């Protein structure tokens, strides 16, 4: 698989199906693993990093659970390529900062990605569409079991898996759910919900990863604690919280539909109208309008539009994607024009 093959490819996690996919965009599990007796990547020397890269690459190549995996060595990628992978949620911003002895392994359906020599020797993630953490866990667990036979993971019976940052020690697991909460935002209850989440030792961030502001009413909720509980307990814990938020969002949607239907129809249809007609549009404005479009699909206010298309637009309108599609470097101004063109083409067909 060539990196450019992904440009016109729809990721599994964006397909807009799965449980509660009206409110939950996607579910993600990641595991942090390190090889025994080798310094963590930031402390390792060049040779050690290279050895880890080779060992993990070899082990990964043996997994037959995954359809057609490809290893992308970061040294072979330019900045747009790297940004493109970050935008697709296939690797982290931190991973892209240096290229030496770093790689990311991706399967054809973009369900799995394995970062080699990020903060830990290995960061494996599995993404699923909708509210589906256990399905993601089943997949990642099978991969992890396989790799555990191939690679000597750093593990202490009392501590669990050892990791570069102590907050990941134990299970090395983080479960994240990407929620779309436009109604809670509109009825001004979202801050209350987010405050409650942080008290329960969960964190929230935006669609575009750690440190990013929530935009487009998208909130990613993750566990903070990975130590002292089993993986399934942690997932159950996240699931319980997410079920409550889904319930609150559903109630807020019902309130809006029954009390403010005209306002909703106006806001949603205007968003659709602007997206179909703009010739210059920023990513920030696009994301806010797409959020309304997605809500419109969920509420049946917008018909004949597939939720998958809306999900994919959230990803496709980002800078590196635009440049990959255009196969050229673009200035910010050129991107705003290209973005509008792509959105019109995708939506006006409807």
Per CB under 8 A, residues contacting a second copy are 262-263, 265-266, 269-270, 272-274, 276-281, 337, 340
Q: Which is nearer to a second copy, 257 or 274 (CB)?
A: 274
Q: Which is nearer to a second copy, 262 or 332 (CB)?
A: 262
Shortest gap between Cβ of 289 and a second copy (angstroms)? 11
The Cα–Cα gap between 38 and 49 comes to: 9
**What does DSSP say about strands 202-205 and 218-223: parallel, antiparallel, or unpaired?**
antiparallel
Shortest gap between Cβ of 333 and a second copy (angstroms)? 8
3-state SS class at 8: coil
Mind giving me the DSSP string for 55-112? HHHHHHHT--SSSSEEEEEGGG--HHHHHHHHHTTSS-TTGGG--TT-EEEEETTSSE
Q: Which is nearer to a second copy, 196 or 305 (CB)?
A: 305
Q: How many helices (H) and strands (E) does the chain have?
A: 11, 10
Shortest gap between Cβ of 276 and a second copy (angstroms)? 6
Q: Which is nearer to a second copy, 274 or 305 (CB)?
A: 274
Q: Which is nearer to a second copy, 51 or 265 (CB)?
A: 265
The Cα–Cα gap between 74 and 164 comes to: 21
Instruction: Tell me which residue has tokens 């440049």.
Output: 323
Q: Which is nearer to a second copy, 216 or 296 (CB)?
A: 296
Shortest gap between Cβ of 220 and a second copy (angstroms)? 30
Shortest gap between Cβ of 280 and a second copy (angstroms)? 4
The C-alpha angle with vertex 175 and arms to 172 and 178, in degrees rounded to 5, equals 150
Shortest gap between Cβ of 319 and a second copy (angstroms)? 18
By residue count, the chain amounts to: 350
The Cα–Cα gap between 324 and 151 comes to: 36
Helix, strand, coil shares of the chain, percent, nearest 5, are 50, 15, 35
């Amino acid at each position: 698989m060539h990196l450019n093959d992904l440009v016109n490819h729809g990721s599994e996690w964006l397909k807009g199906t799965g449980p509660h996919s009206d409110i939950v965009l996607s579910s993600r599990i990641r595991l942090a693993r390190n090889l025994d007796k080798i310094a963590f990547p930031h402390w390792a020397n060049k040779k050690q990093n290279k050895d880890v890269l080779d060992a993990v690459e070899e082990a990964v190549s043996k997994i037959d659970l995954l359809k057609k995996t490809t290893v992308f060595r970061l040294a072979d990628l330019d900045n747009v390529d790297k940004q493109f992978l970050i935008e697709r949620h296939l690797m982290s911003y931190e991973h892209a900062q240096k290229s030496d002895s770093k790689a990311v392994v991706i399967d054809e359906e973009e369900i799995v990605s394995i970062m080699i020599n990020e903060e830990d020797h290995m960061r494996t993630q599995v993404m699923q569409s909708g509210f589906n953490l256990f399905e993601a866990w089943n997949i990642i667990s099978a991969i992890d079991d396989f790799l555990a036979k191939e690679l000597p993971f750093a593990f202490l019976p009392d501590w669990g898996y050892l990791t570069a940052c102590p907050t990941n020690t134990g299970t090395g697991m983080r479960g994240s759910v990407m929620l779309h909460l436009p109604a809670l935002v509109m009825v001004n209850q979202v801050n209350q919900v987010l405050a409650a989440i942080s008290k329960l030792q969960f964190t929230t961030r935006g669609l575009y990863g750690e440190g990013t502001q929530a935009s487009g009413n998208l909130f990613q909720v993750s566990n903070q604690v990975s130590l002292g509980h089993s993986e399934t307990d942690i997932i159950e814990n996240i699931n319980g919280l997410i079920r409550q938020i889904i319930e609150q969002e559903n109630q807020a949607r019902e309130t809006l539909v029954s009390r403010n239907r005209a306002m909703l129809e106006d806001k949603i249809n205007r968003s659709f109208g602007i997206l179909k007609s703009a010739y210059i549009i920023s990513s920030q404005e696009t994301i806010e309008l797409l959020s309304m479009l997605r809500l419109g699909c969920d509420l049946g206010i917008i018909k004949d539009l597939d939720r998958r298309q809306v999900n994919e637009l959230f990803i496709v309108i980002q800078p590196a994607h635009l440049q990959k599609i255009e196969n050229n470097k673009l200035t910010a101004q050129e991107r705003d024009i290209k973005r509008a063109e792509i959105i019109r083409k995708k939506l006006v067909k409807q």
